[in-house]
């Protein structure tokens, strides 16, 4: 009986050696390890930062006033983006009606008229950032401040690392007798610059 068991053990050992022998084929491995995926970025700076920029604080406006300001819009991200102007809001204040306003027929005590006398002429892409309209510098808006739209889908391309200037020229041309309606009035202008990934935004 012992001999039969020993024989069986030897057969098993021999067969396992045979199995081992059948695995010894040629082979070769190469690798593709460490594949990495990193997101790009879209990040807009205005005048070198991420804080709200008050570009204009104008007092004592009058017929003949001209105020020019330039926003510097820079794409500090790594992807191409497209600029739009959004959330444009003009808010007027009457600040009381004085004698010349009264004589000019200003009866709207809660609504100022300054935004209807002052022209934003122009709001334009100031490619050379010099504050003046030059060749190839296209207009975003040209008209009275009070008539500006709330959004402009300008889709102005701004490459990673690139800067684009936008200039606003606020001019109070002579409008005749209606200018007196705006004595002492004020308006605020709010505007948001959006750097979007696509032109559909
Ligand atoms: Ca930013
Ligand atoms: Ca009024
Ligand atoms: Ca220019
Ligand atoms: Ca007024």
Triad 84, 165, 175: Cα angle to 5°: 85
Give the number of the ligand closest to the Cα of residue 41.
1
Residue-wise pLDDT for 160-188, tens only, equals: 999 999 999 999 999 999 999 999 999 99
Distance (Å) from CA 53 to ligand 4 centroid: 27
Residue-wise pLDDT for 113-155, tens only, equals: 999 999 999 999 999 999 999 999 999 999 999 999 999 999 9
Q: Label each residue of 14-52 as H, E or C.
A: HHHHHHHHHCCCCCCCCCCCCCCCCCCCCCEEECCECCC
- How does DSSP classify residue 156? E
Alpha-carbon distance of 148 to 163, in angstroms, equals: 25
Alpha-carbon distance of 42 to 26, in angstroms, equals: 51
Give the number of the ligand closest to the Cα of residue 50.
1
Q: How confident is the model at residue 9 (pLDDT cuts 50, 70, 90)?
A: very low
């Amino acid at each position: 009986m012992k001999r039969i068991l020993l024989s069986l053990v030897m057969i098993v050992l021999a067969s396992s050696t045979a199995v081992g022998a059948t695995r010894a084929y040629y082979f070769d491995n190469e690798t593709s390890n460490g594949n990495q995926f990193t997101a790009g970025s879209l990040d807009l700076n205005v005048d070198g930062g991420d804080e709200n920029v008050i570009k204009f604080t104008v007092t004592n406006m009058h017929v003949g006033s001209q105020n020019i300001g330039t926003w510097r819009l820079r794409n500090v991200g790594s992807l191409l983006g497209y600029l739009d102007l959004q959330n444009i809001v003009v808010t007027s204040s009457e600040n009381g009606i004085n004698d010349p306003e009264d004589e000019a027929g200003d009866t709207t005590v809660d609504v100022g008229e300054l935004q209807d006398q002052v022209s934003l002429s122009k709001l334009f892409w100031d490619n050379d950032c010099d504050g003046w309209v030059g060749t190839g510098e296209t207009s975003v808006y040209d008209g009275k401040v009070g008539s500006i739209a709330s959004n402009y889908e300008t889709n102005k391309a701004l490459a990673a690392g690139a800067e684009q200037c936008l200039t606003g020229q606020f001019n109070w041309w002579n409008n005749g007798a209606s200018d007196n309606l705006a004595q002492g009035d004020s308006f605020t202008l709010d505007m948001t610059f959006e750097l979007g990934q696509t032109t559909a935004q």
